[in-house]
Chain A
Amino acid sequence: MISATPEQTEFTGQIHKIALYHVTGDADFEPAWKKFLVEFQQLTTQSYAQNTSGLNIKLIFLQMLLKHFPSLSVLKTDPRVIDLVLAGCRTVGDKVVDPRFGECEITQRSIGDRFGVLYTMKTPNGSLVSFEFFD
């Protein structure tokens, strides 16, 4: 029996609630979700998952979720999901000192194509710099 941490349970529960808005009327969803959760929990016991950050685990969860349920691809751009996955990361409006540009303001934050954290920052001279970042 594999048991998730309380944080993982809270996180996956919140994502589940949001996912339910997008799968109304799909009777197969609940059993498929339960099966998916077991698969994810098995993954979290593996060496790589044990030795990476919580942020990476959440990004892996989302990547696996969208692979299992392509109809939920909208979750990747759902602000509630982004806030849950990227909790603890710098967010829009935060100022960050980038050694190359000086103090920059984060103007956009999302989940990138490679399932990294995609930031756009405004530099002191007003130009925008965008990069995908991995923890």
Chain B
Amino acid sequence: MRKPNSEYYREFRILFEAHEPTLLPEFDEKVKNSRPLEVFMWLEGLRTTSKELWESLDPLMADFFYFNH
């Protein structure tokens, strides 16, 4: 996902544009400059702060995390 040409990056961006366009610059910055895990910690934070956006991202997030317990 941390690659601007990746399919996932494009899909996430479309959802940000649709639900929370003001967060797009921050999303782009995170993808460009953050370590792998931190992008997703930031996305997890949207669960409470941007509920509508989070609900749209949630199905994609499942491709990135498997919780063991």
- Please tell me if the beta carbons of A97 and B35 are within 8 angstroms of each other in the complex: no
B68 at the interface (CB under 8 A from A): yes
Which residues of the other chain, A, contact B36 by a CB distance below 8 angstroms? 53, 55, 88-90, 117, 133, 135
Q: Contacts A51-B6, A99-B41, A119-B37 known; A132 to B66 CB distance under 8 Å?
A: yes
Residues of chain A from 77 to 135 with CB closer than 8 A to chain B in the complex: 88-90, 96-100, 112, 114, 116-117, 119, 129-135
- Please tell me if the beta carbons of A53 and B2 are within 8 angstroms of each other in the complex: yes
Choose from A53, A97, A116 the contact partner of B1 (Cβ within 8 Å).
Answer: A53
Q: Quick check: which of B12-20, B21-29, B43-51 contacts chain A, the rest being far away?
A: B43-51
Which residues of the other chain, B, contact A116 by a CB distance below 8 angstroms? 66
B5 at the interface (CB under 8 A from A): yes
How many A-B contacts at CB < 8 Å in the complex?
66
A45 at the interface (CB under 8 A from B): no
A42 at the interface (CB under 8 A from B): no
Q: Contacts A51-B7, A53-B2 known; A96 to B64 CB distance under 8 Å?
A: no
Q: Contacts A89-B36, A99-B44, A99-B45 known; A114 to B3 CB distance under 8 Å?
A: no
Q: How far is the CA of A96 from the CA of B35 in the complex (A)?
A: 11
- Please tell me if the beta carbons of A117 and B7 are within 8 angstroms of each other in the complex: no
- Please tell me if the beta carbons of A52 and B37 are within 8 angstroms of each other in the complex: no
> In angstroms, how far is the closest chain B Cβ from the Cβ of A33?
28
Q: How far is the CA of A117 from the CA of B35 in the complex (A)?
A: 13
Q: How far is the CA of A129 from the CA of B64 in the complex (A)?
A: 16
Choose from B5, B6, B7, B48 the contact partner of A99 (Cβ within 8 Å).
Answer: B48
Q: How far is the CA of A100 from the CA of B45 in the complex (A)?
A: 8
Which residues of the other chain, B, contact A14 by a CB distance below 8 angstroms? none
Residue of A nearest to B45 (CB): A99
Which residues of the other chain, A, contact B65 by a CB distance below 8 angstroms? 131-134
Which residues of the other chain, B, contact A9 by a CB distance below 8 angstroms? none
Q: Contacts A51-B7, A99-B48 known; A135 to B41 CB distance under 8 Å?
A: no
